[in-house]
Structure 1
Amino acid sequence: MKAIQLKAPGGLDNIIVSDIDDPGRPGKGEIRVAIKASSLNFHDLIVATGQFPTEDGRILLSDGAGIVEEVGEGVEAFKAGEHVVSTFFPNWLAGKPVPAVGGFAHTPGDGVDGMASEYVVRSENAFTHAPKGWSHTESATITTSALTAWRALVTDGHLKAGETVLVQGTGGVSVAALQIAKAMGAKVIATSSSDEKLAFVRELGADETINYRTTPAWGDKVLELTQGFGVDHVVEVGGPATLNESLKSIKVGGHIAQIGILSGDEAALSVLSLLAKQVQIKGVIVASRQDQCDFVKALEIMNKKPVIDRVFKYEELGEAFSYQQSGAHVGKICVEW
């Protein structure tokens, strides 16, 4: 079977298409899945480029959706023919994060082989059912970015109708957060450096937009748009370059979900702002398997399909990552066999 592997030390030129052994039949507690589609995430990119080193020959990509071909002994949650989508932390079943999910040792495409493979055999905990009526490509957008947005706003943020959410940029997490917030009756302020992208997110339902390139002190603009109160939630994906503006934007007692490190991983934080706002800043890396099950049920009710910018073939994964690096996309980039 075909798989997309990364040769050490990483780099897009070291992504290869390989012919490897079929994983065979599932054992006890396992399922065999024919993978049909995956989506790209920032985490996948930094593994592929070698910023997050992994083992030589690692099969890439954390997200995968496909069809159950066979179930092993003792598996009752799935049956052959059902559509499924992978989990980012297969060992984190429910509840609060545990030490086993403190890193990426069990994350597909990083600590273990990923979903850029025609077939996989994994623990049944490595998958959940996909939303009914969704294509495999649509389902493949759930695992990492969309589920992170769900946890940030719903599981951790306890989002309520009428609250205001600030989303940054137009990547997968931010667009999913916009869709979730609007589906739950919240207001959304979106930032981007592109007026064209801001026009697009307004079509998706954003109530207010700010071009952070022409308005670098965008935190002040957020306060103006909220009559000086600030927003209830910030979905923070920028990192060091945006965190202090996010602190300016948040209301007293508000919630910042720190998700991204697009501008690096070390920030000069205004402790005075942190104290004055009495804000909760919570680090978020995806969510548990139970959160994903809850999210899938919500998606079936919300009827909000993901925004997919472009679809490549798995064999074009290096080209897909290059497109991701360009920042030209809005929403998700996907690959299919």
Structure 2
Amino acid sequence: MRRWQMETFGRAHLRLAEVPVPTPGRGQVLVKIGAAALNYRDLLMIEDGMGMTLDMPFTPGSDMSGEVVALGPQVLRLQPGDRVVNAFFTNWSDGIAPVPVHPFGGPGPGMLAEYVVFDEAQLVLAPQSLTHVEASTLTCAGTTAWFALAEQARTRPGDTVVVQGTGGVALFALQLARAQGARVAVISGSADKLERVKALGATWCIDRTTSPRWADAVRELTGGRGADHVLELAGGDNFEQSLQAIAQGGRISVIGMLQGTELRSSVYPLMLGRATVQGIGVGHRRALADLVRALDAANIRPVVAGSYGLTELPAALEHLARGAFGKVVVDLSRR
């Protein structure tokens, strides 16, 4: 089989290698990968490992949809032919995350391969309504948005949700919040992308280039009340605007760190707004299974910015690096 791997860090060192097909052990299944969605995390893992100790050769990729083709001993839930998606964490099935757990997940197994072995406990059945390309986007982006809106919060009809940007998590959050009956304000610096989110159901579009104090715009659009929930995808100084945009008792889900690893704000808007601030680091397997049912029930289709064949991984990573409206996916059915 073929898989992408590297002996040292850097995109220039990625090589498409021929290796033996792995054999599943006790409680494991062999999955033929149909598609692997890419995350910004993958770029960071390729460049420096994100501080993790990696066994070389290292195969990147954390998200996939595929088909079970072989079973190891004592596999109970799955059968050959089942279409499956993987949970991000290998050891978090439900409840409180086990300790210690790395905030960015473990280093493997990498999904940019034609076959991968999984513990049965890491997999759930894929949505019936989605292709492999679409379903591969659920592991990180879909689960993160779902965990923020439906697991760690209970979004209700009439709520106002603020979404920052138009990447994979942001667009999932827009679609899920709308399905929950919420009004959604999307913030972006691209007028073209704001036009596109209108087609996905955005209630309001705020251009941060013309409204750099976007929190004021949220207040104005909501009649001064503010938002019930803000998905903070930038970090840095942007966090203070998120605090200023929420209603009394509102919630901020801290998900991204595009402006760095610090959150900067005066304590006053936090205290005056009586805000709840929660960190979201993807989610557990049960939440992924709940998301799968929700997508089938609501007929939500993930937004895919582009799909590439396995040999086209360098082009896919370049697309990811320059920014994408939705998810970038490697489609292994393409030769």
Distance in 1 of aligned mates of 2:72 and 2:167: 37
Match of 2:248? 252
Residues 193-237 of structure 1: per-residue CA shift (max 9 Å, x gap): 111100000111000000111211111111111111110011111
Moved more, 14-23 or 279-288: 14-23
Identity %, equivalent residues: 37
C-alpha displacement of 1:92: 0.1
Distance in 1 of aligned mates of 2:140 and 2:26: 27
Unaligned runs of at least 5 residues, structure 1 = none
C-alpha displacement of 1:53: 4.4
C-alpha displacement of 1:52: 1.1
Moved more, 275-284 or 70-79: 70-79
Question: Is 1:223 the counterpart of 2:219 in the alignment?
Answer: yes
Match of 1:49? 47
Match of 2:328? 333
Match of 2:309? 313
Residues 11-57 of structure 1: per-residue CA shift (max 9 Å, x gap): 22122211122212x22211110011011112112112226145232
CA contact (8 A) 2:7 2:13 kept: yes
Distance in 2 of aligned mates of 1:97 and 1:257: 17
**1:179-328 equivalence runs, <5 A:** 179-327=175-323
Question: Is 1:174 the counterpart of 2:170 in the alignment?
Answer: yes
CA contact (8 A) 1:92 1:100 kept: no
Match of 2:10? 11
Distance in 2 of aligned mates of 1:120 and 1:336: 15
**1:70-219 equivalence runs, <5 A:** 70-104=70-104, 107=105, 110-219=106-215
SS in 2 for 1:52: helix
C-alpha displacement of 1:100: 3.7
CA contact (8 A) 2:36 2:65 kept: yes
Match of 1:62? 62
TM-score (norm 1): 0.95
Match of 1:27? 25
Distance in 2 of aligned mates of 1:332 and 1:272: 37
Letter matched to residue 17 of structure 1 = L
TM-score (norm 2): 0.95
Distance in 1 of aligned mates of 2:49 and 2:214: 30
Distance in 1 of aligned mates of 2:289 and 2:14: 32
Distance in 1 of aligned mates of 2:13 and 2:258: 23
Alpha-carbon distance change, 258 to 185 in structure 1, aligned in 2, over 3 angstroms: same
CA contact (8 A) 1:85 1:143 kept: yes
CA contact (8 A) 1:91 1:100 kept: no
SS in 1 for 2:236: coil
SS in 2 for 1:159: coil
Distance in 2 of aligned mates of 1:235 and 1:268: 16
Moved more, 316-325 or 208-217: 316-325
C-alpha displacement of 1:278: 0.9
Equivalent in 31, 35, 38 of residue 36 of structure 2: 38
Distance in 1 of aligned mates of 2:111 and 2:64: 5
SS in 2 for 1:59: coil
Distance in 2 of aligned mates of 1:187 and 1:267: 26
Residues 163-218 of structure 1: per-residue CA shift (max 9 Å, x gap): 01000010000000000011111100001111110000011100000011121111
C-alpha displacement of 1:103: 3.8
SS in 1 for 2:321: helix
Alpha-carbon distance change, 20 to 257 in structure 1, aligned in 2, over 3 angstroms: same
Distance in 1 of aligned mates of 2:108 and 2:177: 33
Distance in 2 of aligned mates of 1:136 and 1:241: 38
Question: Is 1:2 the counterpart of 2:2 in the alignment?
Answer: yes
